[in-house]
Amino acid sequence: MNVDLLIVNGYVLTMEDESNQLIENGAVAIIGQTIEAVGKSDDLRANYHAERIIDANNQLIMPGLIDSHIHTGLAILRGVAQDMSHWMQKGIWPFMKHVTKEERIKGSLVNILEGIKAGTTTFADYDTDMQDIVQHYVKIGARACVAEMVNEMPDDIDDLSVGELYPLDAKVGEQKLQKNVDLIERYHGAEDGRITCMLGPQGADMLSLNRMKQIADLAETYDTKLHMHVAQGDREIEQMEKRYDLRTIPFLEREGFLNERLIAVHLTEATKKETEKAAHSGASMICCPGSIGIIDGIVPPMYSFLQAGGTASLGSDQAPGNNSNNMFNEMKFAAIVNKVKYQDPAVFPAELALRAATIEAAKVLGIDHEVGSLEKGKKADIIVINFQEPSLSPVITKPTSNVIPNLVYSARGHEVETSIIDGKVVMEHRQIVTASEEQVVKDAQEAANGLAKRVSKKV
């Protein structure tokens, strides 16, 4: 049988089930966008004739990583708001009012290339001006599950004092929600399904109850999920208690928003009881351990959520809070901080962290029928990792395997040699083939220089 691509002679990590299935001297056959077969190299070579063969000797073939929560439009502000309290009010808002749309778009592409070079093949991007940002994914060839961020916050929000109740502007909410609807109608299912869309309420504290209900109704209409920050900090809880006399999760439960359509991001300030309630409701969770550790000094309750039977995944969040949009960083950080939190080295094993960035992430986003594992019929989103890098050497498979522990605790992302998305090679020999990395970085630097000059004049 003829196929377009054979990747052979590698270790194949399928992530197909809880055993994670490591195949030595394994191979993957691809036809068009789709995985045709996974198995031993000798068997696939005997049964398939390929237009192209990639020799993955001494390399790992595995599903591409999934970044479940990222704001690429904030990349232009990488590193400007670390090591401070009231990160949003004091760190981000003073910059955000000076950022132009063009600067957001240029910075966004840097984040996407950064992710691809560290093994990310699917980005759940959640930001402003998403109809412009999504064009990057179309051009680069990455998979994206995008949402326009919807709030009712006026432009001069940075003038508020810490703790002051947010004034909500219905016109702002109407305009932003319409942008989200336009995004869904134009891009959901675009690029042969490589681009999908969700609704993106920013947070229950930043929207009126009527707007929240409108968004929930639209989720039913479009049969999509709600990608939303939930209990993301003491700031949010304070706003909710002032406005509704309820904490966030009890409010969502009372109003009927706590269900399987909700993807709850962070849960930073959720109590154990609230975390369990969210898990039992059918809502899923996204944890961004690097970002929340830096911004709030808190370990999000992902482990408790999982112990309560919930489905959860990992995301990298945004560059000004996390500095890094690298899923290897998030896997390692999630595992280690939970071991420290619970004072138990057996808590949050490496296998759990890796699943949270692959198949479990696909489940959270509702795309596990297409990606997240290497199986016949799924989309060919595959990365090839060099096991001859010192950070991943030596490889041991018996009597125990060090492959997954080393991916989680040792890999840094530079070991990713090749990235295949939707059956097409997007990065080879660590070179992005669908864009000029040098030009992208140059454009973003020029944009950042202009922004920095404008902000400096106001300080």
Q: How confident is the model at residue 157 (pLDDT cuts 50, 70, 90)?
A: low
In which element (H, E) is residue 418 found?
A: strand 416-421
pLDDT in tens, 421-439: 999 999 999 999 999 999 9
Q: Is 158 helix (H, G, I), strand (E, B) or coil?
A: helix
Between 129 and 233, where is the model more confident?
129
- Average of per-residue pLDDT across 33-56: 97
Task: Give residue 359's identity as a one-letter amino acid code.
Answer: I
- Cis upstream peptide for 399 (omega within 30°): yes
Residue 455 · residue 98 · CB < 8 Å: yes
Q: Where are the beta strands (DSSP E) in 241-345?
A: 262-266, 284-287, 312-314
Phi/psi at 48 (5° precision): -135, 140
pLDDT in tens, 186-206: 999 999 999 999 999 999 999
Shortest CA distance to 427 belongs to which of 65, 173, 94?
65
Residue 404 · residue 397 · CB < 8 Å: no
* Residues listed for the chain: 459
User: Taking the domains of the chain in order of start, what are their residue ranges?
Assistant: 2-63+376-432, 65-365
What span, in angstroms and rounded, lies between the C-alpha atoms of 147 and 197? 6
pLDDT at 161: 66
Site of tokens 């909710």: 240
Tell me: domain 2-63+376-432, CATH 3.40.1160.10, correct? Answer: no
Q: Inter-axis angle of helices 101-117 and 130-140, to 10 degrees? A: 40
pLDDT in tens, 67-100: 999 999 999 999 887 787 877 777 777 777 788 9
Into which CATH architecture does domain 65-365 fall? Alpha-Beta Barrel (3.20)
